[in-house]
Each structure stands twice: as C-alpha cells, then as structure tokens.
Amino acid sequence: MTLENITLALSNSPEILGKDKYFNSAVLVPLVIIEDKFHFLFEKRADHIRQGGEVSFPGGEFDTKKDQGLRHTAIRETTEELGLPSDKIKIIGKVGTLVAPMGVTVDAFVGMVSIKSLDELSIDKNEVEKVFLVPIDHFLKQKPEEYTVKLEVHPSYTDENGKKVELLPVQKLGLPARYSKPWKNGFHRVFVYNSTEEVIWGITAEIVFELCRMINSSK
C-alpha cells in the first residue's frame, strides 16, 4: 500500500457512496416546443401500478441486463411509456442525481422531444393514464408550496402476526440502548406545484425546482 495507491483510488471515487444499496432509477425531463414556447411533458401514472395516479416524468429502474447506463434507462423508459422512437429524443444535459429518503436514487436527464403535438405519442395505457404539457414559464415565475414530513429510523417492527422483528440487534451488538427505540432522522422537504392539469409534487416537483433554479441562475 502506497500513497499513490490511495490517491489513485480516490480519483475514481463515486459521486454517491454506496449507491448500489439504493433502488437506482432514471427519468427523462422531456422538453417540447409548442408555439415557440418550451413546455415540460408530464405523465400521470396508471392507477394500478406503483405510485399510481401520481404525476411523474417518464422513467424507471435501472436494468442491469438492458441498460448500458442510467442515461440509457431514461431513454428506454421514455420510448416504452410514450411510444416514442428514440431518434425523437435528444439528451441536452443532466440535472443531477436526487437521493430520496425512502432509499431511491433518481438520475434526471433533460431531453428535447421532437413532436409538434401529443397526438404523435402512443402511450402505454398499462403504465400511463395520460400525458400533458405545462409551459416552463409557469414554474420559472412561481415558487412551489413547501411542506415537511417527519422521518424516523425504526430498528424493529411488528409484523402482521403481532411478532416483533428486530432489524438491528442493538443489545447483541453492544450499541447504546437508545438505539433500541425509534430515533429522529430529521425532516424532509416536500415541494408542491399546482397547474391547470394536475398537482405536481414530491420527487418530480423537486427535479422541476432544481432545474428551474439552474435556468434562473443562468440568466
């Protein structure tokens, strides 16, 4: 072991430590130009799927067998959900990686979608209830409503049979006794945007907020 070995190892360090322990996903933030104005394209998820009825950007879980990287995940999921050929999508940049408190990472890419109308899409009704457009100016000119939710860490839980399931054996490991009970893990910020179509909140609103902040800062 030498200093050179350690320095080389650090040069290849990941942006997020332990990313493999998370549910890794990617989304595309689709931009559509209608009447010379930029719009975000949103989708409302079908009721019967995970997080059904919520507004999101097209995207999904990174597939180790199908995807060459998270950028590819965003494009693949968009083509599947919107029925859009990949040559109609041009990635222009990345917003960043969002780490959600429920153990999810979301890599958000921004892409121009070459359509003149939503009628050109053939959405997968099994996953998507509907799609809609909202001008970016709508978000650039308004601040989202801001709320918080309380987060707690639980070292154990009671299952459906009333049996206590110990996740972290505090006593056995010789950890401080206070960790045998739930402990506070702070508060998590939740953004909410209202639009004429749907309420946009949570991770999707967080991505919109961060991208709009970047755009406003670059003016």
Domains delineated in the chain: 16-149+184-217 (3.90.79.10)
Q: What is the pTM of this model?
A: 0.90
pLDDT of res. 171:
93
- 84 phi/psi in degrees, rounded to 5: -120, 130
pLDDT of res. 107:
96
Cα–Cα distance list, 175 to 135, 171, 179 (Å): 53, 6, 7
Kindly state the DSSP code that residue 46 receives in the 8-state scheme: P
Nearest CA among 108, 107, 96, 102 for reference residue 21: 102
DSSP class per residue in 86-143 = GGGEEEEEEEEEEEETTTEEEEEEEEEE--SSGGG----TTTEEEEEEEEHHHHHSSP
Residues 82-135: tens digit of each pLDDT:
999 999 999 999 999 999 888 899 999 999 999 999 999 998 899 899 999 999
pLDDT of res. 157:
93
Rounded-to-5 percentages of helix, strand, coil across the chain: 25, 40, 35
Sites in the chain below the pLDDT cut of 70: 219
- 112 phi/psi in degrees, rounded to 5: -80, 130
pLDDT of res. 16:
87
How would you label 191-217 residue by residue, b for 16+ Cβ within 10 Å and e otherwise?
Answer: bebebeebebbbbbbbbbbebbeeeee
pLDDT of res. 200:
96
pLDDT of res. 117:
92
HSE, side-chain direction, 13 A CA sphere, residue 34: 17
Which residues, at least 6 apart from 21, have a Cβ–Cβ distance to it below 8 Å?
103
pLDDT of res. 74:
96
Q: Mean pLDDT of all residues in the chain?
A: 92
pLDDT of res. 18:
87
Determine the number of helices (DSSP H) and then strands (DSSP E) in the chain: 5, 12
